[in-house]
Amino acid sequence: MQLNSFRIVLLLVFSISIIDYVYSSDFVPAPPLLPRRKYVEHTKPISINPSQWVGKRIDNIQETEIELTIGIKQRNLNTLEKIVWEVSDVKHPNYGKYLNFNQVKSIVEPSEESVRIVSNWLENNGIDNFRLSGSGDFIKGKVNVLKAQDLLKVEYQRFTHEESGRILIRSLDPYSVPWELEDHIDFIGGVNHFPLVARLNKMENIKKELNYVSPYLVRKVMNASIVPAHAANSQAIAQFLEEYFSQSDLDLFQQHYRLDQKAITTIRGPNRETEPGMETALDIQYITAMAPNVSTWIVSTGGLHEGQEPFLDWLVDMSSNPDLPYVHSISYGDDESSIEKAYTDRVDIEFQKYAAMGRTMVFSSGDSGVGCTSSCDSHVPGWPASSRFVLSVGGVDWDGTNMNGDVISGGGFSNYFPRPQYQEDVVSNYLSKKVDKSFEKLFNSSGRAYPDVSSFSESLIIAHRGRLMSIGGTSASAPIIAGLLSNINSKRLSLDQPTIGFVNPLLYKIAKENPESFYDIKTGSNEFHCCKGFKSSDGWDPVTGLGVPNFNVLLDYMTKFDSS
Ligand SMILES: *[C@@H]1O[C@H](CO)[C@@H](O)[C@H](O)[C@H]1NC(C)=O
Ligand SMILES: *[C@@H]1O[C@H](CO)[C@@H](O)[C@H](O)[C@H]1NC(C)=O
Ligand SMILES: *[C@@H]1O[C@H](CO)[C@@H](O)[C@H](O)[C@H]1NC(C)=O
């Protein structure tokens, strides 16, 4: 056995050296012994749920365009990660010493060679409209589908999502790139990825307002006083697909609850006031209710274009922006297993860049509890909630007296990312005491565990299309937490302290040293379909994380740390 594998290795070495010889200099080969592979496969075969997506031939293929986004390999990634842990560690002398956009860029920027090789490849294929992003590490542009097929050795189809009617141009074939490119690109977006199509949140008309969750109730239960906004502070919500913003709904909401009003600072991307999205209404109304007067951006990506990958668009747009808001609330998620590891690894680097710049990324943890495969044999973790470099926010419901872990609250363990040090002790404590051994095989106990914290995710009142209604989902808990964190930034900025940035290490530290900073949620569980879920319990758990912030107490602790 050993001998055999040894021989195989030798054979490989031998044949490689022959090929090199055959192709070197100006030696013209008689028919080569082995054809040199021109292309390397860059992805695995894709499988989709055929009951959700139906693929057809593209009829007007000559006129159909697809947008491709090429992530160029960056450099010095160990340095970047080291910086992230240092600037986010209150015990480190570099705590809060964030880098600016150009400093980060100069560390990780791809080599000129990488950019040149990718550009040459495009040009040699007659593509000259692709552009390098401001961050210098994505190349992006639109191309005819026939051209893309030829470029990537795939066949595209036109897919329709049965339930929502959404249309996508995608390929199920793993794409290939010439071998010269392999070491210079991370991934190519716009080929294989099928974004999760969001389901409508539970929504109902309001009968008795008292039975629902309002900004007042959130403040009262979370012990969150109003904090004066700092003029230099900023926050943002991200919107995908055709979710637009309505100023009149925001006005209605703010007037109804007598909240301080301030105009939205920046709306990036397309907006159609006449088609207000419920998700947008929820996010903007709660982030501004929690952090009134703080400059707020709405970043909207993805209109009707069939070839678009909205999350990737958002990422490229944000990564090229030197003046990024301090806190971002993003209610977006996908099944981790449905996405290429190479893609999530690259996005993780982008999150590290934001962390190095003192930005806070808040993601909802998902509305499918533990998630579950169709064969019921394993949980399905959600991503980006499973990234170590974002704050993942789960949900609780309110029964009129108490908060309980919400059954929808996305939670569990990543299969892609290992458990970070900051949560090691609380998570191993949970695993050692609380997990029933019979279901340990459903999840990967060595992975990054989430969520980190929680807030309200059921029966929140919003204004939508001119009237009040109620809505639920971890889509609600994320902007609540994001707005409250913005208040901490306002307070810290007023004390000349750096912004909270990548806040996870500090939150876990505070929870350990000052447990009264969180309402520990001990009831509820997050089973999903035929998969058994986790139970909330003392301390951290994979339903509600560390719990719901007791905001005023947390604010006190979080303004005690400064760069030394
Ligand atoms: C918001 O601005 C208004 C008008 O300047 C001011 O009265 C109010 O106190 C501010 N509120 C906060 C939370 O900063
Ligand atoms: C479990 O998670 C680790 C990362 O923490 C990963 O390396 C490993 O591949 C995962 N196992 C499975 C079966 O996904
Ligand atoms: C609310 O926060 C204050 C600190 O500002 C703290 O003294 C008080 O105990 C907290 N209230 C509750 C109910 O936890």
pLDDT digits over 35-92, tens only?
Answer: 556 888 888 777 788 788 999 999 999 999 999 999 999 999 999 999 999 999 999 9
- What is the structure's pLDDT at 31? 52
Q: Name the token pair of 423.
A: 């949560």
| 277 shares a domain with 174 | no
CATH code for position 423: 3.40.50.200
Instruction: Please state the separation of Cα 345 from the chain's center in Å.
Output: 11
Q: Which atom of ligand 1 is nearest to the CA of 294?
A: 14
Whose CA is closest to 131, among 74, 173, 86, 72?
72
**Residue 153 belongs to some domain of the structure:** yes
**3-class DSSP state for residue 88?**
coil
Q: Are 424 and 352 in contact (CB under 8 A)?
A: no
Q: Name the token pair of 364.
A: 């909802």
Tell which of 194, 224, 240 closes a domain: 194
**Residue 154 belongs to some domain of the structure:** yes
| 323 shares a domain with 240 | yes
Active site residue 283: yes
| 188 shares a domain with 61 | yes
Residue 446 near ligand 2, beta carbon < 6 Å: yes
Give me the chain's average pLDDT, please: 89
| 272 shares a domain with 139 | no
| 163 shares a domain with 234 | no
| 358 shares a domain with 274 | yes
- Distances in Å between the alpha carbon of 36 and those of 20, 77, 87, 121, 426? 9, 32, 47, 18, 52
Tell which of 194, 229, 252 closes a domain: 194
| 225 shares a domain with 151 | no
Whose CA is closest to 253, among 37, 437, 447, 465?
465
The residue type of 32 is P
DSSP letter, residue 401: S
Name the pairing type of β-strands 185-189 and 203-205.
Answer: unpaired
Reported confidence tier of residue 164, pLDDT bands at 50, 70, 90: confident
> What stretches of 154-306 show up as alpha helix (H) in DSSP?
215-221, 247-256, 278-290
Q: Name the token pair of 252.
A: 């209605």
**Residue 103 belongs to some domain of the structure:** no
| 447 shares a domain with 508 | yes
| 483 shares a domain with 345 | yes
Active site residue 155: no
**Residue 563 belongs to some domain of the structure:** no
Domain that holds residue 167: 22-74+110-194
Residue 301 near ligand 2, beta carbon < 6 Å: no
Residue with more model confidence, 163 or 547: 547
* pLDDT tens digit sequence for 346-359: 999 999 999 999 99
Alpha carbon distance 358, 530 (integer Å): 41
| 223 shares a domain with 178 | no
Tell which of 194, 225, 241 closes a domain: 194
Q: Which atom of ligand 1 is nearest to the CA of 226?
A: 13
Reported confidence tier of residue 17, pLDDT bands at 50, 70, 90: very low
Residue with more model confidence, 150 or 44: 150
Protein residue with least CA distance to atom 12, ligand 1: 228
**3-class DSSP state for residue 562?**
coil
| 535 shares a domain with 482 | yes
- Average pLDDT on 408-426 reads 98
Question: Computed from CA positions of residues 106, 112, 114, 115, in that sequence, does the dihedral angle turn out positive or negative?
Answer: positive
| 56 shares a domain with 132 | yes
Q: Name the token pair of 78.
A: 């160990």
**Residue 202 belongs to some domain of the structure:** no
**3-class DSSP state for residue 49?**
coil
Active site residue 176: no
- What is the structure's pLDDT at 46? 78
Q: How many domains, in total, are found in the chain?
A: 2
Residue with more model confidence, 40 or 535: 535
**Residue 531 belongs to some domain of the structure:** yes
Q: Are 210 and 285 in contact (CB under 8 A)?
A: no
Per-residue pLDDT for 472 more than 50? yes
**Residue 90 belongs to some domain of the structure:** no
